[in-house]
Amino acid sequence: MIPPPPHIFQTLDRTAKFPYSRGEYLRRYAWLLVQATLFRLPIPRAYTWRRFLLKQFGAKMGTAAAVHSTTKILHPWLFELGDWSNVSANVTVYNLGPVSIGSHSVISQDAYLCAGTHDHTDPTLPLQRPPITIGHGVWIAAGAFIGPGVTVGNNSVVGAKAVIIKDVPEAVIVGGNPAKVIKPRDTKGANA
């Protein structure tokens, strides 16, 4: 074992052992059971079924909102998905805090939405649950990471594997780690 240094800032023995209410733990366990079984049934394009299950646990689901069977959502009661939006295969919605996705938005495969962190300035690392807001007409490309407290503006594109730790303005394309604006998104296409 590595001997500890003379001073350690973090005191994990003082971290809250149960940061949620008893009721929230019960809801989480019930959802885990449903998500591991009924939600994952191998029925192709069973979006209506998964919308129904998510709504039973408090999610706000828009018209034709689609969630893939391999998507992982931690707290459906803190999840909102707009009309005609799609959350693709193997996306993780780690929503300790609220996650809201607007209409006509796509979250591509393997993306990670992380609405939870810890206060690194406090030695007990208390849990923080900042929201994530993803606007309307947004495309989050494959494998992107959206960090706690981030807002992605309407009509923006987040490039594949991008790491978003700051707000993204409207109608831009961002990419990289950490992500930077690459260029404006042309939104005067055929539907404008």
Alpha-carbon span 89 to 60, nearest angstrom: 20
CATH number of the domain enclosing 178: 2.160.10.10
Q: Would residue 167 count as lying in a domain?
A: yes
Q: Would residue 101 count as lying in a domain?
A: yes
Q: Any alpha helices (H) in 13-160, and if so which ranges?
A: 22-36, 47-56
Q: Would residue 91 count as lying in a domain?
A: yes
Give the residue numbers marked as catalytic. Answer: 118
Q: Would residue 175 count as lying in a domain?
A: yes
Q: Would residue 80 count as lying in a domain?
A: yes
**What confidence score (pLDDT) does residue 15 get?**
81
**What confidence score (pLDDT) does residue 10 get?**
87
pLDDT in tens, the chain (192 residues): 888 788 889 888 888 888 788 888 999 999 999 999 999 998 888 999 999 999 999 999 999 999 999 999 999 999 999 999 999 999 999 999 999 999 999 999 999 999 999 999 999 999 999 999 999 999 999 999 999 999 999 999 999 999 999 999 999 999 999 999 999 999 887 565
Structural domain count of the chain:
1
Q: Would residue 6 count as lying in a domain?
A: no
Domain that includes residue 57, residue range: 21-184
Scan for tokens 């394009």, then name that residue.
45
**What confidence score (pLDDT) does residue 192 get?**
53
**What confidence score (pLDDT) does residue 38 get?**
96
Q: Would residue 7 count as lying in a domain?
A: no
Q: Would residue 138 count as lying in a domain?
A: yes
**What confidence score (pLDDT) does residue 106 get?**
98
**What confidence score (pLDDT) does residue 7 get?**
87
Instruction: List C-alpha distances in Å: 113 to 38, 107, 136, 147, 188.
Output: 23, 9, 16, 6, 29
One-letter amino acid for residue 116 of the chain: G
